[in-house]
Amino acid sequence: MKNAIVGILVLFILGVAGWVASKGGPYNGGEHGKVIADMGSNTTAKTAKVAEKDDRQKEDDKLNALRDKAGNAGAFEVSQAYKSKCASCHGVNGSGFQNGKPMMGPKLFGQNADEIFKKLVDFKAGRKENVVMKGLLMHLEESDLRKFADEIGEFPARAAAAK
Ligand code: HEC
């Protein structure tokens, strides 16, 4: 009787072992295999993403180079005041780009004098929020703002004349 019980137990254990084996252990697929496969596909996805980013970076670089070229082609005379007070953030030609990289300040080139003047007055009055611009304009008179605005408004015409 004892032998029979042992025999049944052995059969049962072998059966379970067989079942587990048929489901696949760590070395022949199964859950672990799946996890490893997942990791694999994840890595591929990541590589694809990196490649995509590289492509986008290249596009950006191209665009920046173009912008830069356009900026350089539009090299023209600007006042000493603009050069010393504004060019460091907005570019010598107001393009907002330097060596293909966006600068701290946005593009001013192409906006007309009145638009620029209104924005400057708004910065100074605090209606348009920007700590940098406000601090910068605090010590300037409205007549100075007008001068800067008029000059920046002339940029496209100056660029065209300089070609
Ligand atoms: C230290 C950097 C810095 C300097 C110097 C600087 N700016 Fe700016 N400027 C900025 C930043 C940053 C902005 C963006 C502010 C915003 O819109 O939030 C800006 C925005 C502007 C705008 C609004 C542009 C738009 O389309 O909204 C005008 C106009 C402008 N600046 C004119 C000037 C003039 C004129 C000078 C020189 C007297 C000057 N800036 C100097 C950083 C600078």
Residues of the chain with pLDDT under 70: 1-2, 5-50, 53, 56, 58-74
Looking at residue 151, its pLDDT comes to 98
The whole-angstrom separation of Cα 19 and Cα 29 is 14
Residue of 79, 83, 111, 133 to test ligand 1 pocket, by largest number of atoms within 8 Å of CB = 133
The residues lining ligand 1, judged by C-beta closer than 6 Å to any ligand atom, are 85-86, 88-90, 104-106, 108, 116, 119-120, 130, 132-133, 136, 148
Whether 117 contacts 154, CB under 8 Å:
no
* CA gyration radius, the chain: 34
pLDDT in tens, 99-116: 999 999 999 999 999 999
The confidence score (pLDDT) of residue 123 equals 96
pLDDT number for residue 103: 96
How far, in Å, from the CA of 10 to the mean position of ligand 1?
84
Instruction: Give the pLDDT of residue 61.
Output: 62
- How many angstroms from the chain centroid is the CA of residue 51? 16
Nearest-CA residue for ligand 1 atom 15 is 130
Per the CB < 8 A criterion, the answer to whether 145 and 124 are in contact is yes
